[in-house]
Chains A and B, each alone.
Chain A
Amino acid sequence: MRAQIEGSQAVAEAVVLCRPEVIAAYPISPQTHIVERLSRMVKQGDVGHCQYLNVESEFAALSCLIGASAAGARTYTATTSQGLLFMAEAVYNAAGLGLPIVMTIANRAIGAPINIWNDHSDSMALRDAGWIQLYAETNQEAADLHIQAFRLAEELSCPVMVCMDGYILTHAYEAVDVPTQSLVDTFLPPFSPVQVLDPNEPISIGAMVGPEAFTEVKYLAHQQHVRALALIPEVAGAFERQFERPSGGLCSPYRMEDADIAVIALGSVIGTIKDAVDELRREGIAAGCVKIGCYRPFPMLQLRGELKGVTRVIVVEKDLAVGMGGIVSADVHMSLQGLHIPVHTVIAGLGGRSISKASLKQMIHDARAERLSEPHFLDLNMTAINDEQARRRDQRRAGPVAEQLIRAINAIGTKVV
């Protein structure tokens, strides 16, 4: 039923429709509303025989799920930011053991400086841990991706992260169609694990593997991701047929048929980019955009296909590889090898900075006029930076950067943007 609800509620309800059997989570903003609602629903008996484990940390949350999943349970957790980093070791283990755990990442920046707002630094830091990573554009898609995620995870024996922008999506109220239980049951069969810890038929999972076989184990993990590249569009197609709306998939083009310049991005900012594209089209600029819906595995060939006809690509990313520049841009570069299409990196929306349509349009104008620096930081306050750099040149004990900058720029919460 279509309802005007919070993104976190939509996700919690979608997860419940997937009939999870063990949920373990530790609350952290902006993930909190998802797990609060789930714990309440489990307590009320709305989630079958599901167990909700209140754990002492994110590391414990995922460790519990590793055990539960290995014992054959359908498992779910959610976290963000420092919480994801805290469970990092278990994140690699879940993938390495081939356990189909589904985890929501309510994307948030990583400190220091501490910042609770949205960007993609957290999921990007764990991009190579072996999990499939899906990114939601809207709350409808966030809900839908969870239903697809369990099916993907269990068909591939590979864990899946569903990434949704913290606050921007998790705390946004918008219309979401939460499907019926019977529709979800038809789409998502009961979990039939390929490996189970069973006292009656004992096996071991998690053996030490030496140099003689470690590469082969990793090679097979990579092959699972290659398989996922075929399965993800298949599952998205099956979802669309059954639920009568498109959701998910590897990458989605918008006004790319005759586009000259393409903007690539992940997550909710695609909505604002589409508005910017429409306005530029009205000004006679052949702009288009491509949403990367699945970042791991990276849809290299599909993206290359979408971008073949353009003369310029701009990657807008909410993350920063300090000392290098863009993370997504590097992958886009790889996809376009030999095509000689310039790829600009634009770092935007870090730590919750709002990405405006006006700034995105200006960015496209600047790219066409060869005015973008590499990498380009959107809406950078150069006055504050120059002042701080000058101050640090002038005195050795210049003090902490973050404290100086917030004093120079503004007090939190008093400015509109």
Chain B
Amino acid sequence: MHAVRIHGRGGQGVVTAAELLSMAAFTDGKHAQAFPSFGSERMGAPVMAFCRIDEQPIRTREAVTHPDVVIVQDPTLLHHVDVFGGLSAEGYILINSTFSVEDLGIGEFLANLPNDHLYIVPASDIGQKHLKRPIANTSLLGAFAAMTGFIKLASVEAAIRQKFPGAPGEANAAAAREAYDHVTAFSNTQEGVSQHARAN
């Protein structure tokens, strides 16, 4: 079982990201469950959403307290919310930012993570380029597919197109693809933890 926790703020598409992730996993023939943990349902408030992916049917309904993957859609949460709480030692972290690990001030948390288990992706910039709005969620799903291999990029794109038919779906799928390529390029350079992942 892979448990994913996504952190962001109300209005950033955190819940949608978890839903799309589960749809992609379903397309891949896996069992998946996505659900939100709403705060007080207002724009800008910290929001979490969860997704479990498994080969077996998923019965548990508890919140994800011990994730295998943490996705941080909004880096301003890093020092307000315990986003890495319960993350497994072999876990993965994906952060939407243009800053490095040092600039973000999170180096000490991440010192023991395996190589290639941390990516900082300029997902808002990628979103801005394709969607004309700094929306990060669909880009991060592409990056997630590249980083973990838990789901296929094609399934992410299919989920996006299914949820957003027409031009918005195509633009979001393109953003996911670019973020996928961004991560793949870094992992191919064998640089390990891609703290160099600044936007240009």
Contacts and interface: CB of A to CB of B under 8 A. Distances in A.
B59 interface: yes
Given A6-B19, A173-B22, A174-B58, A413 B33 contact: no
B61 A174 contact: no
B33 A173 contact: yes
A414 B81 contact: yes
A1 B53 CA distance: 21
Interface residues of B, number: 35
B62 A174 contact: no
A161 interface: no
Interface in B45-70: 45-48, 58-63, 65
A272 B35 contact: no
Interface string B13-42: 001001100110111000111111011110
A356 B33 contact: no
B107 interface: no
A168 interface: yes
A278 to B, nearest CB: 9
A168 B25 CA distance: 19
* SS of A interface (majority): loop
Contacts of B35: 167-168, 171-173
Contacts of A357: 60, 62
A175 B26 contact: yes
Given A116-B41, A414-B46, A175 B31 contact: yes
Interface in A261-277: 268-269, 271-272, 274-275
A382 B126 CA distance: 47
A355 B81 CA distance: 21
Contacts of B5: 416
Contacts of A416: 5, 48, 63, 65, 82, 85-86
24 contacts: A4-B22, A4-B26, A29-B41, A167-B38, A168-B35, A173-B18, A173-B23, A173-B33, A175-B26, A269-B61, A271-B58, A271-B61, A272-B59, A272-B60, A272-B61, A272-B62, A275-B59, A275-B60, A354-B62, A355-B62, A412-B45, A413-B46, A415-B81, A416-B48
Interface of B: 5, 15, 18-19, 22-23, 25-27, 31-36, 38-41, 45-48, 58-63, 65, 80-82, 85-86
Given A116-B41, A354-B62, A414-B46, 18 more contacts: A4-B25, A4-B27, A4-B32, A167-B36, A171-B15, A172-B35, A173-B33, A173-B34, A174-B33, A174-B58, A175-B26, A269-B61, A271-B59, A355-B62, A357-B62, A413-B48, A414-B81, A415-B82
